[in-house]
Amino acid sequence: MPDTIGPNAGSTGPGRIVLAATPIGNAGDASARLIELLATADIVAAEDTRRLHRLVQNLGVTVAGRVISYHEHNEAAKTAELLDAVRAGKTMVMVTDAGMPSVSDPGFRLVEGAVAAGLTVTAAPGPSAVLTALALSGLPTDRFCFEGFLPRKAGERASRLADLAAERRTMVFFEAPHRLEAMLRALRERFGPDRRIAVCRELTKTYEEVIRGTVGELLFWAEANEVRGEIAVVLAGAPEQAPGTPEDHVAAVNALVSQGIRLKEAVAAVAEDVRVSKRELYSAVLAAR
């Protein structure tokens, strides 16, 4: 059975949590729903209350409800308090510094707790740095994945990139400007200098810039410039490999057979994965014996 059926299923009262997307740079991107929610919600949970204050000033909104600071360092302590308020019938709006809460930002713990408690969670969608960068990158958008920030330590970063070596989907990352050069150098080491990439800087802001090219070209650009601002990096997926000949995949079939898989099933699995003829691969396996 699903966790919920409809927006209020499982709710113990009229309270609700609304994840509200905030502008990623241009205050004009604020939705009418965001403005209404900030003005009417019983509680506004904000990643940074100072940024919230600047936002509502720019929007000309007066927050009537209680403002609570809610960030990665106090999520564990504050979540139970916020869930109790929603249980009591309060409407709570969650906002982060930019974009959609819980996407590389605080909010997941709150949603997880609300779902477990059967409380209503909904969203006021809006700006997203991930989707904006993807759309502007000029790279394939039909299949993509979001990888957030790479680890800061070189060894951990290399390990994460090794896990992505065969990833064919377009990948979107966030990165701090002072670490961009090191990131691009790590991408060159793992994926080579010719992989297509886009660095998206200060999206929707006055000095928005999207630099497109190869990993090698953008590393040269980063080395020659002092990069500033909010950064999203969009990397092309791994190129599709040529299927090769059936003989190239005999070892893969034999490896499956050694694990107890029947020969015909092993041939079918490998043939589908590498896109070669099952009949020709089966013949190649028998010939190799």
Distance of alpha carbon 119 from alpha carbon 204, whole angstroms: 34
User: Does residue 135 fall inside a structural domain?
Assistant: yes
Region 201-230 average pLDDT: 96
- Kindly state whether residues 255 and 154 are assigned to the same domain: no
Could you tell me the residue range of the domain that residue 280 belongs to? Answer: 246-288
DSSP-derived letter for residue 196 is E
Could you tell me if 6 and 79 are in contact, meaning their C-beta atoms sit under 8 angstroms apart? no
In this structure, are strands 196-201 and 209-214 parallel, antiparallel, or unpaired? antiparallel
The pLDDT value given to residue 6: 41
What's the pLDDT tens digit per position in 112-167? 999 999 999 999 999 999 999 999 999 999 999 999 999 999 999 999 999 998 89
User: Does residue 5 fall inside a structural domain?
Assistant: no
Beta strands in the chain (DSSP E): 16-20, 43-46, 66-69, 91-95, 120-124, 144-149, 170-175, 196-201, 209-214, 231-235
The per-residue DSSP string of 140-167 comes to: --SSEEEEEEPPSSHHHHHHHHHHTTT-
Could you tell me if 148 and 104 are in contact, meaning their C-beta atoms sit under 8 angstroms apart? yes
User: Does residue 231 fall inside a structural domain?
Assistant: yes
102: left (phi over 0), alpha (psi -120 to 50) or beta: left
Residue ending a domain, choose from 103, 127, 151: 127
DSSP-derived letter for residue 179 is G
- Which tokens in the block code for residue 240? 């599709």
User: Does residue 4 fall inside a structural domain?
Assistant: no
Confidence of residue 275 (pLDDT cuts 50, 70, 90): confident
The pLDDT value given to residue 207: 94
The pLDDT value given to residue 242: 66
- Kindly state whether residues 106 and 162 are assigned to the same domain: no
Distance of alpha carbon 153 from alpha carbon 150, whole angstroms: 9
Distance of alpha carbon 288 from alpha carbon 130, whole angstroms: 49
Distance of alpha carbon 124 from alpha carbon 269, whole angstroms: 44
- Which tokens in the block code for residue 10? 């499982």
Q: What is the CATH number of the domain that holds 46?
A: 3.40.1010.10
Total tally of structural domains belonging to the chain: 3
pTM: 0.78
Q: What is the CATH number of the domain that holds 173?
A: 3.30.950.10
What's the pLDDT tens digit per position in 249-273? 899 899 888 888 899 999 998 888 7
- Kindly state whether residues 112 and 154 are assigned to the same domain: no
